[in-house]
Protein backbone atom coordinates (compact mmCIF):
# COMPACT_ATOMS: atom_id res chain seq x y z
CA UNK A 1 0.00 0.00 0.00
CA UNK A 2 1.49 3.29 -1.02
CA UNK A 3 1.62 6.29 1.28
CA UNK A 4 1.61 10.02 0.82
CA UNK A 5 5.40 9.85 0.94
CA UNK A 6 5.50 7.62 -2.12
CA UNK A 7 3.23 9.98 -3.98
CA UNK A 8 5.35 12.98 -3.00
CA UNK A 9 8.54 11.28 -4.09
CA UNK A 10 7.14 10.03 -7.39
CA UNK A 11 5.59 13.37 -8.19
CA UNK A 12 8.70 15.21 -7.13
CA UNK A 13 7.02 17.41 -4.54
CA UNK A 14 6.80 17.53 -0.77
CA UNK A 15 4.22 15.61 1.20
CA UNK A 16 2.48 18.77 2.32
CA UNK A 17 1.89 19.76 -1.28
CA UNK A 18 0.31 16.40 -1.89
CA UNK A 19 -1.84 16.87 1.17
CA UNK A 20 -2.84 20.35 0.02
CA UNK A 21 -3.73 19.07 -3.40
CA UNK A 22 -5.85 16.24 -2.04
CA UNK A 23 -7.68 18.25 0.56
CA UNK A 24 -7.73 21.61 -1.17
CA UNK A 25 -6.43 23.16 2.01
CA UNK A 26 -3.93 25.39 0.21
CA UNK A 27 -3.52 26.58 -3.36
CA UNK A 28 -1.46 24.29 -5.58
CA UNK A 29 -0.25 25.17 -9.08
CA UNK A 30 -2.45 23.50 -11.72
CA UNK A 31 0.61 21.87 -13.27
CA UNK A 32 1.73 20.41 -9.95
CA UNK A 33 -1.76 19.36 -9.08
CA UNK A 34 -2.09 17.48 -12.32
CA UNK A 35 1.16 15.66 -11.76
CA UNK A 36 0.14 14.74 -8.24
CA UNK A 37 -3.22 13.34 -9.25
CA UNK A 38 -1.65 11.33 -12.02
CA UNK A 39 0.77 9.84 -9.54
CA UNK A 40 -2.05 9.10 -7.11
CA UNK A 41 -3.93 7.31 -9.87
CA UNK A 42 -0.87 5.39 -10.95
CA UNK A 43 0.02 4.25 -7.45
CA UNK A 44 -3.59 3.59 -6.50
CA UNK A 45 -2.99 5.76 -3.51
CA UNK A 46 -5.76 6.16 -0.97
CA UNK A 47 -5.08 8.15 2.18
CA UNK A 48 -4.92 6.02 5.27
CA UNK A 49 -8.02 6.68 7.30
CA UNK A 50 -6.43 5.98 10.67
CA UNK A 51 -3.56 8.38 10.10
CA UNK A 52 -5.91 11.00 8.86
CA UNK A 53 -8.32 10.40 11.68
CA UNK A 54 -5.58 10.64 14.24
CA UNK A 55 -4.71 14.17 13.28
CA UNK A 56 -8.11 15.48 12.23
CA UNK A 57 -9.83 13.86 15.18
CA UNK A 58 -12.56 12.66 12.88
CA UNK A 59 -13.39 9.08 12.03
CA UNK A 60 -15.72 9.89 9.16
CA UNK A 61 -18.03 7.27 10.55
CA UNK A 62 -21.39 7.72 12.07
CA UNK A 63 -22.77 5.02 14.27
CA UNK A 64 -26.27 3.68 13.91
CA UNK A 65 -27.38 2.11 17.11
CA UNK A 66 -30.13 -0.43 16.67
CA UNK A 67 -31.77 -3.04 18.86
CA UNK A 68 -30.03 -6.40 18.99
CA UNK A 69 -30.91 -8.22 15.76
CA UNK A 70 -32.03 -11.15 17.83
CA UNK A 71 -34.76 -9.06 19.39
CA UNK A 72 -37.84 -9.12 17.29
CA UNK A 73 -38.21 -5.35 17.28
CA UNK A 74 -35.25 -5.22 14.96
CA UNK A 75 -37.43 -6.10 12.04
CA UNK A 76 -39.67 -3.13 12.67
CA UNK A 77 -42.51 -5.45 11.85
CA UNK A 78 -42.35 -4.95 8.17
CA UNK A 79 -39.64 -5.45 5.68
CA UNK A 80 -38.38 -2.56 3.68
CA UNK A 81 -38.66 -0.19 6.60
CA UNK A 82 -35.09 -0.63 7.72
CA UNK A 83 -33.90 -0.33 4.14
CA UNK A 84 -35.79 2.93 3.89
CA UNK A 85 -34.17 4.22 7.01
CA UNK A 86 -30.71 3.22 5.82
CA UNK A 87 -31.26 4.90 2.53
CA UNK A 88 -32.37 8.09 4.19
CA UNK A 89 -29.30 8.10 6.38
CA UNK A 90 -26.94 6.81 3.71
CA UNK A 91 -27.77 9.54 1.24
CA UNK A 92 -26.64 12.32 3.50
CA UNK A 93 -23.73 10.34 4.93
CA UNK A 94 -22.48 9.55 1.45
CA UNK A 95 -22.58 13.19 0.48
CA UNK A 96 -20.40 14.05 3.43
CA UNK A 97 -18.01 11.20 2.79
CA UNK A 98 -19.11 9.37 5.89
CA UNK A 99 -19.48 5.65 6.43
CA UNK A 100 -22.07 3.88 8.51
CA UNK A 101 -21.10 1.83 11.49
CA UNK A 102 -23.86 -0.49 12.60
CA UNK A 103 -23.91 -1.42 16.26
CA UNK A 104 -26.10 -2.83 18.94
CA UNK A 105 -25.58 -3.56 22.56
CA UNK A 106 -24.18 -6.67 24.03
CA UNK A 107 -26.78 -8.96 25.52
CA UNK A 108 -24.93 -8.98 28.84
CA UNK A 109 -25.31 -5.75 30.72
CA UNK A 110 -22.06 -6.30 32.58
CA UNK A 111 -19.62 -4.80 30.15
CA UNK A 112 -19.75 -1.09 29.43
CA UNK A 113 -22.07 -0.14 26.63
CA UNK A 114 -20.83 -0.54 23.10
CA UNK A 115 -22.11 2.94 22.28
CA UNK A 116 -19.99 4.63 24.89
CA UNK A 117 -17.00 2.67 23.71
CA UNK A 118 -17.55 3.79 20.13
CA UNK A 119 -17.96 7.38 21.20
CA UNK A 120 -15.00 7.49 23.54
CA UNK A 121 -12.63 5.67 21.22
CA UNK A 122 -13.43 8.08 18.43
CA UNK A 123 -14.65 5.26 16.20
CA UNK A 124 -17.64 7.37 15.28
CA UNK A 125 -18.17 11.11 15.14
CA UNK A 126 -21.82 10.96 15.98
CA UNK A 127 -24.58 8.52 16.77
CA UNK A 128 -28.03 7.84 15.44
CA UNK A 129 -30.28 5.96 17.79
CA UNK A 130 -33.05 3.67 16.76
CA UNK A 131 -34.18 2.33 20.08
CA UNK A 132 -37.73 2.35 21.30
CA UNK A 133 -37.16 3.24 24.92
CA UNK A 134 -35.06 5.50 27.07
CA UNK A 135 -31.72 4.32 28.31
CA UNK A 136 -30.69 7.05 30.68
CA UNK A 137 -27.35 5.54 31.57
CA UNK A 138 -26.12 5.92 28.03
CA UNK A 139 -27.78 9.25 27.32
CA UNK A 140 -26.39 10.89 30.41
CA UNK A 141 -22.88 9.82 29.58
CA UNK A 142 -23.13 11.06 26.02
CA UNK A 143 -24.50 14.38 27.14
CA UNK A 144 -21.73 14.69 29.68
CA UNK A 145 -19.00 14.29 27.10
CA UNK A 146 -20.98 16.46 24.69
CA UNK A 147 -21.08 13.73 22.10
CA UNK A 148 -23.39 14.43 19.14
CA UNK A 149 -26.35 12.10 18.78
CA UNK A 150 -29.90 12.10 17.49
CA UNK A 151 -32.82 9.88 18.31
CA UNK A 152 -34.96 8.50 15.53
CA UNK A 153 -38.56 7.48 16.09
CA UNK A 154 -38.38 8.43 19.72
CA UNK A 155 -37.95 11.60 21.74
CA UNK A 156 -37.15 12.86 25.18
CA UNK A 157 -39.11 15.45 27.01
CA UNK A 158 -37.11 15.44 30.19
CA UNK A 159 -33.62 15.62 28.75
CA UNK A 160 -31.93 17.86 26.21
CA UNK A 161 -31.90 15.37 23.38
CA UNK A 162 -32.29 15.95 19.65
CA UNK A 163 -34.78 13.75 17.91
CA UNK A 164 -36.68 13.14 14.71
CA UNK A 165 -40.02 11.43 14.88
CA UNK A 166 -43.57 11.62 13.76
CA UNK A 167 -46.11 13.08 16.17
CA UNK A 168 -47.47 9.88 17.58
CA UNK A 169 -49.95 11.60 19.81
CA UNK A 170 -51.44 13.49 16.89
CA UNK A 171 -51.32 10.45 14.62
CA UNK A 172 -53.16 8.32 17.08
CA UNK A 173 -55.62 11.09 17.81
CA UNK A 174 -56.43 11.25 14.11
CA UNK A 175 -56.81 7.51 13.79
CA UNK A 176 -59.29 7.41 16.63
CA UNK A 177 -61.08 10.51 15.34
CA UNK A 178 -61.45 8.94 11.94
CA UNK A 179 -63.21 5.98 13.50
CA UNK A 180 -65.33 8.23 15.71
CA UNK A 181 -66.45 10.18 12.66
CA UNK A 182 -67.54 6.93 11.07
CA UNK A 183 -69.86 6.51 14.02
CA UNK A 184 -67.90 4.09 16.16
CA UNK A 185 -68.30 4.32 19.92
CA UNK A 186 -66.56 1.20 21.14
CA UNK A 187 -63.05 1.64 19.87
CA UNK A 188 -60.29 -0.63 21.12
CA UNK A 189 -56.60 0.16 21.25
CA UNK A 190 -53.58 -2.10 20.82
CA UNK A 191 -50.21 -0.69 21.73
CA UNK A 192 -47.43 -1.13 19.16
CA UNK A 193 -45.08 -2.51 21.82
CA UNK A 194 -44.44 -2.67 25.54
CA UNK A 195 -45.75 0.23 27.55
CA UNK A 196 -42.31 1.55 28.31
CA UNK A 197 -41.85 2.31 24.62
CA UNK A 198 -42.48 5.98 24.28
CA UNK A 199 -44.43 5.37 21.12
CA UNK A 200 -46.90 3.20 23.02
CA UNK A 201 -47.49 5.90 25.57
CA UNK A 202 -47.93 8.68 23.03
CA UNK A 203 -50.27 6.67 20.91
CA UNK A 204 -52.39 5.69 23.83
CA UNK A 205 -52.68 9.28 24.92
CA UNK A 206 -53.64 10.42 21.43
CA UNK A 207 -56.27 7.72 21.27
CA UNK A 208 -57.76 8.42 24.66
CA UNK A 209 -57.75 12.18 24.07
CA UNK A 210 -59.75 11.71 20.90
CA UNK A 211 -62.25 9.57 22.74
CA UNK A 212 -62.52 12.01 25.61
CA UNK A 213 -63.03 14.89 23.21
CA UNK A 214 -65.97 12.91 21.89
CA UNK A 215 -67.21 12.41 25.47
CA UNK A 216 -66.32 8.75 25.45
CA UNK A 217 -64.40 7.34 28.36
CA UNK A 218 -61.67 4.89 27.22
CA UNK A 219 -62.60 1.43 28.42
CA UNK A 220 -59.73 -0.50 29.91
CA UNK A 221 -61.26 -3.72 28.63
CA UNK A 222 -60.63 -2.40 25.16
CA UNK A 223 -56.93 -1.91 25.77
CA UNK A 224 -54.30 -4.48 24.91
CA UNK A 225 -50.52 -4.50 24.98
CA UNK A 226 -49.33 -5.70 21.60
CA UNK A 227 -45.99 -6.43 20.09
CA UNK A 228 -44.61 -6.81 16.60
CA UNK A 229 -46.26 -10.11 15.87
CA UNK A 230 -49.36 -10.99 13.97
CA UNK A 231 -50.27 -13.18 16.92
CA UNK A 232 -50.54 -10.21 19.24
CA UNK A 233 -53.25 -8.74 17.05
CA UNK A 234 -55.03 -12.05 17.11
CA UNK A 235 -54.73 -12.36 20.86
CA UNK A 236 -55.93 -8.79 21.32
CA UNK A 237 -59.13 -9.76 19.56
CA UNK A 238 -59.57 -12.80 21.77
CA UNK A 239 -59.07 -10.54 24.73
CA UNK A 240 -61.55 -7.90 23.58
CA UNK A 241 -64.27 -10.37 22.71
CA UNK A 242 -63.85 -12.23 25.95
CA UNK A 243 -64.04 -9.01 27.94
CA UNK A 244 -67.77 -8.58 27.55
CA UNK A 245 -67.37 -5.27 25.78
CA UNK A 246 -66.91 -6.13 22.12
CA UNK A 247 -65.44 -3.29 20.10
CA UNK A 248 -66.77 -2.17 16.74
CA UNK A 249 -63.44 -0.67 15.73
CA UNK A 250 -59.78 -1.09 16.55
CA UNK A 251 -56.80 1.21 16.55
CA UNK A 252 -53.98 -1.29 15.99
CA UNK A 253 -50.39 -0.40 16.81
CA UNK A 254 -48.76 -1.90 13.74
CA UNK A 255 -49.81 -3.24 10.39
CA UNK A 256 -48.76 -6.72 11.35
CA UNK A 257 -51.18 -6.65 14.28
CA UNK A 258 -53.92 -5.64 11.91
CA UNK A 259 -53.17 -8.73 9.87
CA UNK A 260 -53.69 -10.79 13.02
CA UNK A 261 -56.99 -9.02 13.54
CA UNK A 262 -58.04 -9.85 10.01
CA UNK A 263 -57.21 -13.47 10.63
CA UNK A 264 -59.31 -13.57 13.79
CA UNK A 265 -62.21 -11.89 12.02
CA UNK A 266 -62.03 -14.25 9.09
CA UNK A 267 -62.02 -17.31 11.34
CA UNK A 268 -65.06 -16.02 13.21
CA UNK A 269 -66.89 -15.10 10.04
CA UNK A 270 -66.77 -11.43 10.91
CA UNK A 271 -66.67 -8.97 8.10
CA UNK A 272 -64.05 -6.25 7.89
CA UNK A 273 -65.00 -3.42 7.94
CA UNK A 274 -68.71 -4.09 8.51
CA UNK A 275 -68.38 -5.86 11.84
CA UNK A 276 -65.00 -4.52 12.82
CA UNK A 277 -63.26 -1.46 11.43
CA UNK A 278 -59.50 -1.42 11.62
CA UNK A 279 -57.00 1.42 11.50
CA UNK A 280 -53.30 0.83 11.95
CA UNK A 281 -49.83 2.40 11.79
CA UNK A 282 -46.81 2.19 9.51
CA UNK A 283 -48.51 2.18 6.15
CA UNK A 284 -46.14 -0.63 5.18
CA UNK A 285 -46.39 -3.08 2.35
CA UNK A 286 -48.56 -5.20 4.60
CA UNK A 287 -51.12 -2.42 4.81
CA UNK A 288 -51.25 -2.23 1.06
CA UNK A 289 -51.33 -5.97 0.69
CA UNK A 290 -54.21 -6.41 3.11
CA UNK A 291 -56.00 -3.19 2.26
CA UNK A 292 -55.59 -1.80 5.75
CA UNK A 293 -56.12 1.85 6.56
CA UNK A 294 -52.83 2.91 8.06
CA UNK A 295 -51.04 5.98 9.33
CA UNK A 296 -47.68 6.49 7.65
CA UNK A 297 -44.40 6.50 9.54
CA UNK A 298 -41.91 7.25 6.82
CA UNK A 299 -38.55 5.94 7.90
CA UNK A 300 -36.77 7.29 4.86
CA UNK A 301 -37.70 10.81 5.84
CA UNK A 302 -36.95 10.19 9.48
CA UNK A 303 -33.50 8.80 8.69
CA UNK A 304 -32.74 11.56 6.26
CA UNK A 305 -33.64 14.30 8.68
CA UNK A 306 -31.92 12.67 11.60
CA UNK A 307 -28.70 12.35 9.61
CA UNK A 308 -28.83 15.97 8.49
CA UNK A 309 -29.40 17.03 12.04
CA UNK A 310 -26.52 14.91 13.28
CA UNK A 311 -24.11 16.47 10.83
CA UNK A 312 -25.17 19.90 11.99
CA UNK A 313 -24.42 18.84 15.53
CA UNK A 314 -21.06 17.40 14.52
CA UNK A 315 -19.90 20.57 12.81
CA UNK A 316 -21.37 22.98 15.29
CA UNK A 317 -19.06 24.87 17.60
CA UNK A 318 -21.41 26.57 20.01
CA UNK A 319 -24.09 24.97 22.10
CA UNK A 320 -27.63 25.06 20.94
CA UNK A 321 -31.06 24.10 22.14
CA UNK A 322 -31.95 20.52 21.26
CA UNK A 323 -34.63 20.14 18.65
CA UNK A 324 -37.46 17.68 18.35
CA UNK A 325 -38.18 17.52 14.67
CA UNK A 326 -41.63 16.25 13.79
CA UNK A 327 -42.05 14.59 10.42
CA UNK A 328 -45.39 15.20 8.78
CA UNK A 329 -47.35 12.03 8.20
CA UNK A 330 -50.88 11.11 7.32
CA UNK A 331 -53.61 8.55 7.33
CA UNK A 332 -53.84 6.37 4.25
CA UNK A 333 -57.46 5.37 4.09
CA UNK A 334 -58.14 1.92 2.68
CA UNK A 335 -60.83 -0.66 2.94
CA UNK A 336 -60.36 -1.86 6.47
CA UNK A 337 -62.02 1.06 8.18
CA UNK A 338 -65.23 1.24 6.20
CA UNK A 339 -64.98 4.63 4.60
CA UNK A 340 -63.95 3.25 1.24
CA UNK A 341 -64.83 -0.04 -0.39
CA UNK A 342 -62.90 -3.02 0.73
CA UNK A 343 -60.72 -5.21 -1.42
CA UNK A 344 -59.93 -8.83 -0.94
CA UNK A 345 -57.25 -9.33 1.72
CA UNK A 346 -55.13 -11.19 -0.77
CA UNK A 347 -55.08 -8.45 -3.32
Binding residues (CB under 8 A) for a second copy: these are 1, 44-54, 59, 61, 64, 68-70, 74-80, 82-84, 86-87, 90, 94, 99-104, 106, 116-118, 120-123, 145, 230, 259, 262-263, 266-267, 289, 344-347
Closest to DNA by CB, 109 or 317: 317
Closest to a second copy by CB, 32 or 60: 60
Measured CA to CA in angstroms, residue 343 lies from 22, 251, 287, 295, 347 at distances of 59, 19, 12, 18, 7
Question: Pick from DNA, a second copy, none: which does 59 bind, CB < 5 to 8 A by kind?
Answer: a second copy
What are the start-end ranges of the E strands in the chain? 61-65, 99-103, 126-129, 149-152, 162-166, 187-191, 223-225, 249-251, 277-282, 293-296, 324-327, 331-332
d(CA 82, CA 79) in angstroms, rounded, equals 7
In degrees and rounded to multiples of 5, residue 143 shows phi and psi of: -65, -40
Q: In angstroms, give the least distance from the CB of 53 to DNA.
A: 8
Tell me if 145 contacts DNA by CB under 7 A.
no
Tell me if 214 contacts DNA by CB under 7 A.
no
Q: In angstroms, give the least distance from the CB of 209 to a second copy.
A: 32
Closest by Cα among 127, 61, 64, 129 to 97: 61
- Binding track, positions 48-87, relative to DNA; x by CB under 7 A: x--xx-xxx-------------------------------
d(CA 34, CA 241) in angstroms, rounded, equals 77
| 13, 89, 276, 292: which one binds DNA (CB under 7 A) | 13
Question: Pick from DNA, a second copy, none: which does 16 bind, CB < 5 to 8 A by kind?
Answer: DNA
Contact 39, 4 (CB under 8 A): no
d(CA 121, CA 115) in angstroms, rounded, equals 10
Tell me if 26 contacts DNA by CB under 7 A.
yes
Contact 292, 345 (CB under 8 A): no
Tell me if 47 contacts DNA by CB under 7 A.
yes
277: β partners: 249
Closest by Cα among 85, 92, 98, 160 to 129: 85
Q: Does the CA dihedral 47-1-6-54 come out positive or negative?
A: positive
Closest to a second copy by CB, 21 or 259: 259
Question: Pick from DNA, a second copy, none: which does 262 bind, CB < 5 to 8 A by kind?
Answer: a second copy
Question: Pick from a second copy, DNA, none: which does 25 bind, CB < 5 to 8 A by kind?
Answer: DNA
- Contact residues toward DNA (CB under 7 A) are 1, 3-5, 12-17, 19-20, 22-23, 25-33, 45, 47-48, 51-52, 54-56
Amino acid sequence: MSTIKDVAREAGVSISTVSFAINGTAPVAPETKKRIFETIERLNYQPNSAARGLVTRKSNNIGIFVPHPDSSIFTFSGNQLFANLLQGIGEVAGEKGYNLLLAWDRPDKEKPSKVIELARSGSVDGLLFLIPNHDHTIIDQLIEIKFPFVFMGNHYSDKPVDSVDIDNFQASYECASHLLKLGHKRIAFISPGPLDFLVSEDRYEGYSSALKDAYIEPDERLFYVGDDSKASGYRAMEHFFASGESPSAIVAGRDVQAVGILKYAKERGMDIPRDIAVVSFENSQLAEMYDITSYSTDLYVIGNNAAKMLFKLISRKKERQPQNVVIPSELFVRGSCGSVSRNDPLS
